[in-house]
């Protein structure tokens, strides 16, 4: 993977690129489900950019994580809201970064509590490799290599724009 660019990529441009990747597949009338919090923000942007009439779903995987017992409850758990029928639908699960695959696995587990979708595709802005599970993004605009102890955090600025921040442990 290429080295980390400086400055970090413009998230608003990346959202438009992600929408361009998804647009050819809208004939399947997919529903968007964003994983809190970064994926929820991106799903909202995609809804606007793609002109989708249906509200997006929002999912919090806190109770479905396989490290829940070790980490405990996140202090900002949000309610999962899926305002459409999951059964038989084509879904696009949206997140900011895919890394080990564990968050995506947790989201899939929770989704199946709502029904059996026809298909689920993963859309992310960034893929940082390091998979621990056989999960891959169908739609991705940035493959990025991070060093040990580094992580990407998506944040929402005061003016509503989205931006990356590099975190060091």
Q: What is the CATH number of the domain that holds 126?
A: 3.40.50.2020
Q: Is residue 5 part of a domain?
A: no
d(CA 160, CA 27): 30
pLDDT on residue 62: 83
Rounded to an integer, the average pLDDT of 80-94 is: 97
Residues 34/57, Cβ–Cβ less than 8 Å: yes
pLDDT in tens, 101-110: 999 999 999 9
Task: Quote the pTM value.
Answer: 0.92
pLDDT on residue 147: 86
Q: Is residue 65 part of a domain?
A: yes
Q: Is residue 2 part of a domain?
A: no
pLDDT on residue 66: 65
Q: Is residue 89 part of a domain?
A: yes
pLDDT on residue 73: 53
* Residue of 6, 10, 3, 41 whose CA lies nearest to 164: 10
* Residue of 146, 41, 58, 140 whose CA lies nearest to 98: 140
Q: Is residue 107 part of a domain?
A: yes
Confidence of residue 85 (pLDDT cuts 50, 70, 90): very high
Average pLDDT, the chain: 91
Confidence of residue 70 (pLDDT cuts 50, 70, 90): low
Range of the domain at 139: 11-168
Number of domains in the chain: 1
Q: Is residue 48 part of a domain?
A: yes
Q: Which H or E run contains 92? A: strand 90-98
Confidence of residue 67 (pLDDT cuts 50, 70, 90): low
Interior angle at CA 50, CA 46 and CA 54, nearest 5:
80
Beta strands 150-156; 139-143: pairing state:
unpaired
> Residue 50 — φ and ψ, nearest 5°?
-90, -10
Q: Is residue 3 part of a domain?
A: no
More confident residue, 112 or 74: 112
Q: Is residue 95 part of a domain?
A: yes
């Amino acid at each position: 993977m290429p080295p980390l660019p400086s400055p970090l990529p413009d998230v608003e441009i990346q959202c438009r690129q992600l929408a361009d990747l998804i647009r050819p597949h809208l004939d399947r009338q997919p529903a968007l489900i964003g994983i809190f919090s970064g994926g929820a923000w991106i799903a909202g942007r995609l809804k606007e950019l793609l002109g989708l009439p249906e509200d997006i779903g929002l999912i919090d995987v806190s109770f479905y994580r396989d490290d829940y017992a070790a980490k405990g409850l996140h202090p900002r758990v949000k309610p999962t809201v899926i305002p459409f029928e999951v059964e038989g639908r084509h879904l696009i699960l949206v997140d900011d970064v895919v890394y080990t695959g564990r968050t995506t696995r947790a989201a899939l587990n929770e989704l199946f509590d709502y029904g059996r979708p026809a298909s689920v595709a993963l859309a992310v802005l960034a893929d940082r490799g390091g998979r621990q599970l056989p999960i891959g993004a169908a739609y991705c605009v940035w493959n990025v290599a991070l060093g040990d102890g580094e992580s990407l955090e998506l944040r929402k600025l005061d003016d509503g724009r989205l931006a990356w921040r590099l975190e060091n442990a």
